[in-house]
Structures are given as structure tokens and as C-alpha cells.
Chain A
Amino acid sequence: MNIIKLLQHFTSANLNNMPEGAMSRNQAFAHLANIGKGIAMAAAPFGAVAIASSKSHARTMETPTEALQLALTLEYLEAEYYQMGLDSGVIPTGGREEKVFMQISKHESAHVTFLKAGLGENSIDKPAFDFTAGGEFDPFNDDPNISEAVSYAQFLALAQAFEDTGVRAYKGQAANLMDAPDLLKAALQIHSVEARHASEVRRIRGLKGWIVQDNRGDGIPEAAQPVYNGEDAIMQAGFNTATDFGADAGTEAYDEPLTGTEANNIANLFIVT
């Protein structure tokens, strides 16, 4: 008996089982359109939209529409970032890293398309981004005084920060989608893709694929520490995750959420308008 073949067979069989997924997506969109009615949302960039804030890491108070608008903002940011990275030539061509970032770029663009369609009339316009964060970074090597190697290191560092932010932001919005089960499912399906991206980018940077304590890793400035704050949580529903193998393993084993406000604040570092 070949267990692996069995599992792989099952996996591909289900992946091709699109009708069910497609249907629930349509239902999700219909649901979302209904939710959207009666909610007055300005068609403004996300940065200008007031979001109910909460200090709590556990739960926030966004509506499903707001939750997906936050998601779309982050996807716009990621999609543009990777496209610009690929266009700039800063990513070494012909090897692993080009393949990786082309794949990530493809996914982020697909997420934008998916969320825009899902939000429909509640969709938001793409903000204008400044990935130098006011001259702090040069991820696309626009500055002739900065070497390509340094620019690329910055490109990788920001990619890691964006992916880890995405993972934490989607996680923080999950509870806000509980009344819209199909949207929740889709958001979770994006969430785990962001986590796969994060793992790969972190490993390209020579880090573990998982977040140790609240360490951001070399090459990420202090200003980006909010991406990792709170990741050092040890207690999970009263269970001490450090008991078995110590705090590093315990904190690695759980990714923590960001509230909408926290995620928005991180995105705003790179949003001009």
C-alpha cells in the first residue's frame, strides 16, 4: 500500500472539486452584498475609514465589510509591492527567489481580484503606496547611492513584514466574519496562503519559517516592531505552551492576531493617501 499516493490522490481529487467552492463563493458574494446594504461606507482609501478600535488582541469589532476592506488594503499593498519588486530587477533572476516572488505576486493579485469582487459596491480604491516609507527604505534600488544587495535585503525584510502582518491581520478579522460563514471560509483560505508565503520569505532570509517569541529578525528596523509585538504570548486559553519545550517552541507554535487598528497602523506606514 502506498500511503503517499493515496493521500496525494485524495488531495488533487478534492482540489479539482471546484463546483462546491465556486458556489459558496457566489453565495458569499451575495451575502456580502446584503451585508453591505445599509452600511454607509465612504468610498475612501482604507486609511481614511474609521474603524472601530479595540485594545484587545482577542477580538475586534469590525463588520464583515470592514474586515474585508482591511484585507483588500493589505492585498493591494502586497500586490503592488511584489509587482514593483519584480519590475525593478532587484530580485535575482533565474533561480528560487524569482520563482518564489512570481508565485507570491500571482497570489496577491488574485486576492485583490477576489476581494474586490466579493466586496462589490463596498470595494475600496487602491491607496497610493510609498514603499520607501518616507525614505526609510529602498526596496527597489531606486537610490543610486544604495547598493543592489542592500536594496534587495530591504526588499526581503519588508516582504517578510508584510506577510507576517497579513497572517496576523486576517487572523484578527476571523471572528468578525463568523456571521458570514462563506466569507470566513474564504478568509481562512487566504490566511493560510499568507502563512505559506511568510514561511518561505523568512526562510529565504535565513530565519525559521515560524516566528520565535516577538523577534522580527535582522534587517527589520525597530519601527516595524509592531508587526511582531504580542507574538511572544505563552498562555493559550489557560495552557502554558512553554511547559513542554520552552518558550521559543511555545511561541513559535501559535501565531497571534492583530486588531484592525494595529494592522491598519502598520499599513499606514506605507500609505501616502
Chain B
Amino acid sequence: MKKIDVYPKYNRDRRSFLKAGGAGLAAAGFLLTGCSDDDDGGTPNPNPDPDPDPEVFDLGSGDLAVLNYAYALEQLEADFYAKVYNSFYAGITTQEQSILTDIYYHEVIHRNFFKAAISGVASESQILPALEFDYGDLDFNDRSAVLATAKALEDTGVGAYNGAGNLLKTPEYLLLAGKIVSVEARHAAAIRSLINPDSKDFAGDDIIDSSGLDTAKLPSEIIPIAADFITTAFTANNLP
């Protein structure tokens, strides 16, 4: 098994996170897993690995790894929007409620789809387990905090799918990822438009480059972002 050539990058990302946001990242468990025996004394993992193997879950290799990776991101989005949906923030408008409800539905469907799809091609032990999440001090009753997180998750999701497309070997999986990513992009535009109506932010210059291209990021760039919310440790040893 190819091992941890991605870790120098993770560590670099981790440093920049720490620098930008201070210590105490919930994701410390993930970021350091596999580097060494260093336990960092970080946040205790609230979701003990059901695998008797002391090693944490690895996403696997090949297309399976990419599917598990997408499944992790969809789990995060579904969990986030479930929290939003189950207790909408104060003063939510009818339009916002409609949009956030739709997105909640879509992300749950995506999550359940990946679980089913992976189950169809992999053994139980190869399927990413149900992850646990921690949103820190995010106030789900605060409109701007909720929408800003939604925007970050959707933009991140788009960049993740765009960057993962050429890691897939099976055309059918690429097509399925394509069917999902454009819906994530539709979400991103709608959320951005809610945050800043009467603007070009739906596809703003902060996210679309001068060639008119959206972001595309590697798993090693995305996972540390997602890991800020994901408390369950896992590794992606075979993904770039």
C-alpha cells in the first residue's frame, strides 16, 4: 500500500489552519492519523472505530477511495443541512426555507445514494462508516453564520468533485459525479445569491477565475477543510 506521501501537504495545510484560526481544531485526530504514533493529545474521538484494527478507516484505493471520499463529503453536507432544517434560524424567509429544505433533501439523497452505490461494489468493511460531526461554536440560529457555512460547504463540494473527476477510472462513476456536482453548483449559486442579493456573487470573481473556470481541488486540499467539522478519524492514503 502506498503510504502517506500526502502527509507533508496535510501538515502544511494544518499549519496554515492553525495559524489562521488558532489551536484546538476538532480535526486534529484526522490530520495526524498515520503520521506517526503522535497522539497530539487532541480532541478525544467521540466515535470509536468499530474496526478492531487499531488503524483508523482508510478510504481505500482506486474508484472505491473516490466514492468513499464523496460519501464523506455528502455525509457532512447532509448532517449540516439536517441541523439547519430541524431548527431553522430565527427570521428565516419563506424563500430561504424552501431553498434550504430542498438542499437538505438533495444532500440526504446524495448521501444515501453513495452508501448504496458503494455497498453494491465493496464489502461492508470497505464502506466508510457513519461519520460524526462537530460544528464548534457555529450558531445554527444565526442566519449569516448558517448561510456562510452553507456557502463554504457548497463551494468546497464543487471544488472537490471538479478535482476528483479525473481520479475516477470508471466512466459510469464519472457521469454520476457529474450529475451531482452541477446540483452542488446550483446550490452554491443560490446560497451565494441569498447572502448577497443583487450581485454577481452567484458566480463571483472570488470563486471563478479569469478563464471562467470554477475551482478544482485535490482530496488532500479538501479533506483538511471538511475535517474541521468531522470528528471521526479516517485516512485517504491512496488519494492525491
- State the A residues within 8 Å of B (CB): 1-15, 18, 21, 25, 58-59, 95-96, 99-100, 102-104, 106-111, 113-114, 167, 170-171, 174-175, 178, 181-182, 184-186, 188-200, 203, 208-210, 236-239, 241, 243-245, 249-250, 252-257
A residues near B190, Cβ cutoff 8 Å: 199-200, 203, 209
B211 touches A113 (CB 8 A): yes
B181 touches A200 (CB 8 A): no
> How many B residues, CB 8 Å from partner?
82
A188 touches B215 (CB 8 A): no
A residues near B24, Cβ cutoff 8 Å: 1
Select the stretch in B1-9, B34-42, B58-66, B163-171 that faces chain A.
Answer: B163-171
B120 interfacial by beta-carbon distance below 8 Å: yes
A14 touches B185 (CB 8 A): no
A11: contacting residue among B183, B193, B207, B212, CB under 8 A: B207
Known: A245-B105, A257-B175. A114 touches B212 (CB 8 A): yes
Indicate with 1 or 0, residue by residue over B202-231, a CB within 8 angstroms of chain A CB atoms: 111011111111111100010011001100
Q: Which partner residue on chain A sits nearest B167 by CB separation?
A: A181
B216 touches A104 (CB 8 A): no
List 16 additional contacts besides A11-B207, A208-B99, A210-B106; criterion CB under 8 Å: A1-B136, A6-B21, A102-B200, A114-B213, A185-B165, A188-B178, A197-B203, A199-B190, A200-B203, A203-B193, A210-B186, A238-B120, A244-B112, A245-B108, A249-B106, A252-B102
Q: How far is the CB of A170 from chain B (nearest CB, A)?
A: 8
A254 touches B216 (CB 8 A): no
Q: Which partner residue on chain A sits nearest B147 by CB separation?
A: A4
Q: Which partner residue on chain A sits nearest B162 by CB separation?
A: A188
Q: Of B105, B117, B172, which is in contact with the most chain A CB atoms at under 10 Å from its CB?
A: B105
CA–CA, A191 and B179, complex, Å? 11
B186 touches A108 (CB 8 A): no
A residues near B199, Cβ cutoff 8 Å: 96, 99
Known: A3-B228, A197-B203, A236-B113. A190 touches B187 (CB 8 A): no
B136: contacting residue among A3, A108, A241, A253, CB under 8 A: A3
Q: Of A18, A107, A198, which is in contact with the most chain B CB atoms at under 10 Å from its CB?
A: A107
CA–CA, A181 and B135, complex, Å? 35
CA–CA, A244 and B74, complex, Å? 15
Indicate with 1 or 0, residue by residue over B14-43, a CB within 8 angstroms of chain A CB atoms: 001100111011000000000000000000
B178 touches A174 (CB 8 A): yes
Q: Pull 6 A–B residue pairs with CB atoms less than 8 Å apart, ordered by A.
A: A108-B212, A110-B212, A196-B189, A200-B190, A210-B186, A249-B106
A237 touches B137 (CB 8 A): no
B residues near A253, Cβ cutoff 8 Å: 105-106, 109-110, 180, 183
Q: Of B184, B202, B224, which is in contact with the most chain A CB atoms at under 10 Å from its CB?
A: B202
A residues near B47, Cβ cutoff 8 Å: none
B residues near A239, Cβ cutoff 8 Å: 112-113, 116-117
A residues near B204, Cβ cutoff 8 Å: 103
A residues near B159, Cβ cutoff 8 Å: 14
Q: How far is the CB of B12 from chain A (nearest CB, A)?
A: 11
B152: contacting residue among A11, A21, A181, A191, CB under 8 A: A11
CA–CA, A181 and B215, complex, Å? 15
Q: Of A9, A100, A114, A254, which is in contact with the most chain B CB atoms at under 10 Å from its CB?
A: A254
- Nearest 9 interchain pairs by C-beta: A110-B212, A195-B185, A181-B166, A103-B200, A195-B182, A189-B213, A199-B186, A199-B189, A7-B152
CA–CA, A95 and B202, complex, Å? 14
B171 touches A195 (CB 8 A): no
B residues near A208, Cβ cutoff 8 Å: 98-99, 102
Q: How far is the CB of A221 from chain B (nearest CB, A)?
A: 23
Q: How far is the CB of B229 from chain A (nearest CB, A)?
A: 7
B210: contacting residue among A110, A198, A237, A245, CB under 8 A: A110
CA–CA, A171 and B162, complex, Å? 12
A residues near B56, Cβ cutoff 8 Å: none
B residues near A14, Cβ cutoff 8 Å: 159, 215, 217, 221
B21 touches A1 (CB 8 A): yes
B228 touches A191 (CB 8 A): no
B149 touches A178 (CB 8 A): no
B residues near A110, Cβ cutoff 8 Å: 210-212
Known: A21-B209, A95-B198, A252-B106. A192 touches B158 (CB 8 A): yes
Q: Of B13, B165, B166, which is in contact with the most chain A CB atoms at under 10 Å from its CB?
A: B166
